A and B are shown apart, each in its own frame.
Chain A
Amino acid sequence: MATFGYSLTPSSRIDLCKFNQEKWNRLVELESDVLKCMACGSCTASCTAGKFTRTSLRSAILYIQNGQEKQALELVQSCLLCGKCFMVCPRAINTRNLLLSINKIYSVK
């Protein structure tokens, strides 16, 4: 294919119909703290793995709410579970269990 020095950006359209209420309810059941997140980004800022690759719990939660499960999973699979985000979270969210729960629920095809 010929390159023109520029390309089309992938669509950033969010399809909210893809949001899976059932999975979300299961997530809330496993870790109700997810409802407390105010998307401040402290977790992402302090992330150990985030120094090397894009890792963000904040974005992952937003992606899930937007029905973009695949993108959400990509953001949490590099997590080392070191627990720094739990220590800095101003809402005292049990982030480690939340990360594990996201992995448990959304990695099932």
Chain B
Amino acid sequence: MRERIAGGYDPFVLPFVIGMIFIFIYLFIALIRVFRAMPGSDRKKFFLSLLNPTIMYKNIRDVICDCLLHIKIFKRNALLGYMHASIAFGWFMLIVLGHIEVMLFVPQRNGTLHYPIFYRYFVAEQNATLKGAVFFFLMDFFLLVVLSGIGLAMYKRIRSTALGMRRTTKPCFADRVALWCLWSIFPLRLLAEGFTAGISGGSFLTKPVNMLFANFLGNDMNVLPTWWAYSTALGLFFLALPFSRYMHIPTEVLYIFLRNAGLKIHHPRKGLAEAEIYSCSSCGLCIDACPMNMQKKNLKYSSVYFVRFQRRNNKKKINEIAEKCLMCGKCVALCPVGVDSCGLKQAQRATVTDKLPYNYSFLASAHHQGGGPSMPLAPVSGSATGNEVTANAAAHGAGNATGNAAQSAVGKDKVLYFAGCMTHLTPAIIKSMTTIFDAAKEDYVFADKDGGVCCGRPLMLTGKVTAAKEVIERNREMIQDSGCKTVVLSCPICLKVLKEEYNLKGITLLHHTQYINQLIDQKRIRLNHSEESFVYHDPCELGRGCNIYQEPRNVLSAIGELKKANKEKKESICCGGSLGSLTLNYHDRVKITQESLKALTFDNPDKVITACPLCLKTFSDQSTTPVADIAQAVAGNLK
């Protein structure tokens, strides 16, 4: 291997070098902006996280899996995953190998920006040196990988369904410029290296290209123009990068570091949010994910467009989308980058709603009022009613077994049952829960028997954070004063906010699905296995919100046959009743409810089972299949 061009420079590298210098300066300034907008405590937290080996390991793993290999997309659709991974990983390897070549063969050129990229123009390879041939082979191989990815990307423009996407993002102008540059970079590289392959050597891809063109094109005359074109495409790409979606390539790495450091969004457009906004790759997976998008007119409310308008700071559009969103979290769950668009929208809503007046002075008096949640909490003993005694004689043995397993949370202390506002609209759930408590001989306290104060989650979702804090503080006192160490909730909306905002140390929070599952495991209740078949609807706040997928399925398998839904777990479709959306009207919600029911009943189950009073109420109005809460199903099958 020897240098072919003395001085290691040719004017054609200029477009690339200019683009590169521009992008470095831009990124440096952007990085400072992100850190300056962050609260000091967050900055400290971030720098400390860099010293933590577990977080560092997570960072490196995430960068490799998410940025380079796109594992998350692979899991959804292999072809789509390959498209993303081949371009990202292939390009990364081309750059790395280029640098290794320079380090090994022309160490005097270390540190130049352009040399590793245009390596083949500047060196000549004698076929005798095997080491160089290995690298030439690898370079050609990864170029082929990238080219196959680009080919798939082009095909995706024509038929996106082939890659598992029904709808794709409409690119904006800067996106188009960058896209054309990106698409032309690699074919141009192949041509450029092909034309020089006769002089500087090549491998299985570039050599045949060289020989092919030698037949009808004079090689030497084409060398410089193609290298110029290649360099210009690269330079243009870098110039367009900050204004296009490809800004996600550098930003995603930063975002992974910030995310793993455990930072939270403080402002809808600054600090962490800025990193988040710019790490959106506009891939459009959130468009198919959004439950609103079964109506074409709602496409414009997709998260990808929300992020795009955030970048442009288009206040009107941002607010419009933020207020429309159901906050079901499906787009966040499916986002390959993990952009928390719901968090961004919540922060955006706060800019409008948090300053609205409110008057919660009644909360203080709610303490003493008869109907209040913290009225002298009267314990209701499960064994009081006579019929349970006869109903479950065999459970006594099981009861002893639980006595041994005293470390278990359930059964050790009194249980606080918090039904929540919505559950009071569906009293069947409360009735079923009391039946179950009685059957399990649980010593429980009904916190909001005559109606309590809202948990604060709806206010949080609306962005009225200050108001929500007052409500939360009030309920927190109530829960702590009760002295109970276990809280059972019937509403996943409450569960989510209790987990995230209440800061209840030493208190176990259980949704009733988890609680019932524990009762079954501890053999405190015995159930009939009926012939009925069920399908389970994952409520947004319970599934994606609190990551509870398995317990309800275990419970349902114990009482009947569990059928699969068309879309379930992470991909379950919102029932349409979500409290997240502010402006979505009833008619649009009904469409979502019907779509969700269609996905649930595709295997003809006897019953649709859900675990959220809001879902139950929403589905009941629309469904032809009977809908029930999981507590109802269990209470109906008690032995």
Contacts and interface: CB of A to CB of B under 8 A. Distances in A.
A58 B617 CA distance: 22
Contact of B422 (A82, A96, A103): A82
A84 B360 contact: no
Given A80-B471, A84-B422, A94-B585, A52 B369 contact: yes
A39 interface: no
Given A51-B371, A103-B357, A96 B362 contact: no
A73 B358 CA distance: 9
Given A53-B362, A104-B356, A94 B369 contact: no
Contacts of B424: 84
Contacts of B450: 51
B586 interface: yes
A105 B582 CA distance: 16
Nearest to B451: A51
Interface string B571-587: 00000010100111111
Interface residues of B, number: 42
A19 to B, nearest CB: 21
Given A33-B585, A48-B453, A100-B462, A83 B579 contact: yes
B427 to A, nearest CB: 12
Interface in B460-474: 462, 464, 471
Contacts of A80: 360, 421, 453-454, 456, 458-459, 471
A88 interface: yes
A83 B422 contact: yes
A66 interface: no
A37 interface: no
A48 B453 CA distance: 7
Nearest to B363: A52
A54 to B, nearest CB: 9
A85 to B, nearest CB: 10
Contacts of A96: 458, 462, 579, 582
B454 A52 contact: no
Contacts of B635: none
Nearest to B370: A51
A104 B369 CA distance: 31
Nearest to A36: B586
B176 to A, nearest CB: 35
B425 A46 contact: yes
Nearest to B464: A81
A79 B369 CA distance: 18
B365 interface: yes
A87 B359 CA distance: 23
Contact of A100 (B353, B371, B456, B586): B353
A100 B450 CA distance: 27
A78 interface: yes
A52 to B, nearest CB: 4
A49 B425 CA distance: 14
Nearest to B621: A87
A107 B356 contact: yes
A79 B459 CA distance: 10
B372 interface: yes
A72 B289 CA distance: 40
Contact of B425 (A53, A87, A92): A87
Contacts of B362: 49, 52-53, 78
Interface string B581-622: 011111100000000000000000000000000100110000
B575 to A, nearest CB: 12
A100 B459 contact: no
Interface string B467-488: 0000100000000000000000
A52 B459 contact: no
A81 B349 CA distance: 14
A49 B454 CA distance: 8
Contacts of B454: 48-49, 80-82
Contact of B421 (A52, A73, A82, A94): A82
B366 interface: yes
Given A53-B362, A92-B586, A100-B356, A81 B459 contact: yes
The 3 closest A-B pairs by CB, nearest first: A92-B586, A53-B362, A80-B454
Interface of A: 31, 33, 46, 48-49, 51-53, 73-74, 77-84, 87-88, 92-94, 96-97, 100, 103-104, 107
Given A48-B453, A80-B360, A92-B587, 17 more contacts: A48-B454, A49-B454, A52-B453, A53-B362, A53-B365, A79-B358, A80-B421, A80-B471, A81-B458, A81-B459, A83-B421, A83-B458, A84-B424, A93-B586, A96-B582, A103-B357, A103-B358
21 contacts: A31-B583, A46-B425, A51-B371, A52-B371, A73-B357, A74-B359, A78-B358, A80-B456, A80-B458, A80-B471, A81-B458, A81-B464, A83-B422, A84-B422, A84-B424, A87-B422, A87-B617, A92-B586, A93-B586, A96-B462, A97-B582
